A = this chain, B = another copy of it.
């Protein structure tokens, strides 16, 4: 079998000369490095282990003992560095009875949702202001095109949950109420640009910690 031994040596040589080139198989995020438009710099492949590609943070639902009776647990690149540069990420939704994930957008990704427990009423609105609304059962899948306003509401009397996946490692998340009411944007300006009544604005600013 000396022939085989030569084969073995040949490939060792081949791989050592091309080893850098294979780095781009994956690019586990080095979260200490500076972010860039395409994601984080890569952790050295020599230090990458299978644990970089596995994430256990979605095994349990988030705490839903809050006013929206719901929780979103992200597995974006900041939580799960293995997705860096791969064009996808995940999150878990938990909705207690009466729970709501309020209107929000993901500025940088489309989303696909699969119900794993209970029933969820989900909807999105297009640029043409058409509503696409459905009550999903366990195992049903729904897709939300990039950047459009959408929401999820528990439609069951029990705790409902879902997994969602995104077409980006860093999809972003802009919750409408927080964008409007949880900052220092002057109430008058919010009124001018939303047609909401000032009393309504001030009430929600109070709730969400906004000022102005």
Contact = CB atoms under 8 A, between A and B. Distances in A.
Contact of A20 (B65, B78, B141): B78
Interface in A70-127: 71-72, 74-80, 82-90, 100-103, 105-108, 110-112, 114, 116, 121, 123-127
Chain A: interface residue count, which band?
A: 35 or more
A156 interface: no
A207 B129 contact: no
A71 B9 CA distance: 12
A28 B161 CA distance: 26
A28 to B, nearest CB: 10
A88 B55 contact: no
Interface string A161-174: 00101111011111
The secondary structure that dominates the A interface is mixed
Nearest to A29: B37
15 contacts: A4-B206, A7-B67, A18-B72, A38-B85, A49-B132, A53-B142, A55-B141, A58-B140, A60-B139, A86-B143, A88-B111, A103-B180, A107-B147, A127-B172, A133-B185
